[in-house]
Structure 1
């Protein structure tokens, strides 16, 4: 019964999602109210909320626009529920912005399926990925997805292989101008940004360990579900699903490589996982299975969110 509420995409469902995002976002912010006394703090929290909301609806748009999900509210809700596993992301504007730009890139790469304006889409996607890497350097690994998309669709045109490098030059020029204008030491910035830490020892308490373990279990369930059912899905969407899965694993690699490691970096896996979860629940033949999966994710997310307040 709960899952059926989001079975159709309606204005009421969108309003409910906005309310839920607003509710959980500000519940977490009330732990530290120092930002209220500062105009800069208020503006930063407002921008953070807008980026969170925009990312949710952009993910939902990517799924529906490319036939990966049906016209439902599942993707938006799953994105929010997975975000609640690690609510500290609501205070990390850098990773939220990086994730938003990666979503803009993913939107362009998935739409390559139509074979229209391929060069523009490859250039745009590469540009957004390089912009995302300015907020978190290892997002640059998502360029792998660009080259995967080129192989899938337009590998015969050699100019498509050059476009990511042109995008790199454009962003590099902007970055050089920006650092020069504000007097930022480019070498120090790059040295700090490109550090690698392969150790996963940042967990400081039982709740973080539990959240990570449950998230990994849930993610593996939906990823393997897609592997099992992929051959039975529409042939025109199979390549797109492969790119979604690839995006998820690239997000995992970014998390593994990142220095100053925290669960916030797992946000880069949230959007593809939300699409995979929606595809799974919509593919289920019985309402009972849909309800079980949806309620299980809902209860886990609420429990972990409350535990980390």
Structure 2
């Protein structure tokens, strides 16, 4: 059963999920017109590796900050949600921006520890600024960064100002690059992307159905998380609340994008996957079965649903 298989952290789990991502990438690639060249092959291999590394990095963040128990539910959700929306693999800028934001998330979630706080804040602001070069509205990720700074112990005004230093560093380097290469700073005027609320592409079943499923998971498990916050210790509660704030900001990042293809939902997949994993792991598989068979089979059915749907959507 899936609850028992992914309820453990075994190397085979990572191998299976890595293969799943590669299969999803190749599946959507075969459905689109291909330009075969050494450069294109290099690009596709690079983005396949980036997609797999994003999954592994998310798992590292989870384990480092004890965001779930010792299982692989979160990366299972993350992988399957990506498979439901294979259009994600056709948007290299979104893949790159999301990878940088996951790196930023790693630092944000570690701010509960007061060790090397200034360095962590600077690193986070640099990752967010780099993400904004590929997807402008990634800059909204500074909001959870400042929330994390306020929540951390021994906050001071220098740490509150540190994100501006990281941003200005990337901004200055990028401007200098364009001056040297293009003899122009026109990139600044083209940097900000117009907010587009045209959701006409969501009329396609291949986009509408997976988006509905992912948002339903987010709302259902997010409400469960809010209702159960009082049961957590104070130290854990701050991280759980922070992850909720991150998920809300990620929704706004997705909504603010210049084009609505469904690929923009990649930004919410990491926090939603962790929140969904917390819901599934509420009871251990054996204990759930003994005390509440309905609860056990409901969660088992949810896992089967997210595993099967990517194969279904591939043919829509």
TM-score (norm 1): 0.92
- Any runs of at least 4 consecutive aligned residues in structure 1 with deviations exceeding 4 A, and if so which? none
- With over 3 angstroms needed to count, the CA separation of the structure-2 counterparts of 1:181 and 1:273, relative to structure 1, is same
Task: State the match for 1:34 in structure 2.
Answer: 34
In structure 2, what is the equivalent of residue 141 of structure 1? 140
Equivalent position of 1:16 in the other structure: 16
State how far apart, in whole Å, the 1-side matches of 2:15 and 2:307 are: 19
- Partner residue of 2:218? 219
CA RMSD of aligned residues (A): 1.9
Which residue of structure 2 aligns with residue 47 of structure 1? 46
CA distance in 1, matches of 2:21, 2:79: 7
Inter-partner Cα distance in structure 2 for 1:290 and 1:212: 20
Residues 85-115 of structure 1: CA deviation (Å, up to 9, x unaligned): 2111112111111001001111001011122
Distance in 1 (CA, whole Å) between partners of 2:305 and 2:59 is 21
Look up the match of 2:117. Answer: 118
Aligned equivalents of 1:134, 1:78: Cα separation in 2: 28
> Where does 1:1-309 land on structure 2 (aligned, <5 Å)?
1-32=1-32, 34-35=34-35, 37-154=36-153, 156-183=155-182, 185-187=184-186, 190-191=189-190, 193-284=192-283, 286=288, 287-307=296-316
List alignment gaps of at least 5 residues for structure 1: none
Q: Is the 8 A contact 1:142 1:247 kept in 2?
A: yes
Q: Secondary structure at the match of 2:182?
A: coil
**Shift in Å, 1:42:** 0.5
- Cα distance in structure 2, aligned partners of 1:6 and 1:14: 10
Structure 1, residues 211-250: CA drift from partner, whole Å, max 9, x if none? 2222221221121121112221343221111121111111
Inter-partner Cα distance in structure 2 for 1:243 and 1:175: 31
The answer (yes or no) to whether the contact 1:94–1:136 under 8 Å persists in 2 is yes
Residue 60 of structure 1, CA deviation: 1.1
Q: Which moved more, 1:170-179 or 1:283-292?
A: 283-292
The number of residue pairs the alignment matches comes to: 306
CA contact (8 A) 1:74 1:278 kept: yes
Higher mean alpha-carbon deviation, 104-113 vs 221-230, is at: 221-230
Residue 199 of structure 1, CA deviation = 3.8
Instruction: Decide whether the 8 Å contact of 1:154 with 1:160 is kept in 2.
Output: no
| Structure 2 length-normalised TM | 0.91
CA distance in 1: counterparts of 2:175 and 2:254, whole angstroms: 27
User: Structure 1's 306 and 219: CA in aligned 2 closer, same or farther, altered over 3 A?
Assistant: farther
- C-alpha displacement at 1:184, in angstroms? 7.2
The 2-side partners of 1:145 and 1:155 are apart by 18
| Structure 2 CA distance for partners of 1:186 and 1:4, relative to 1, 3 Å | farther
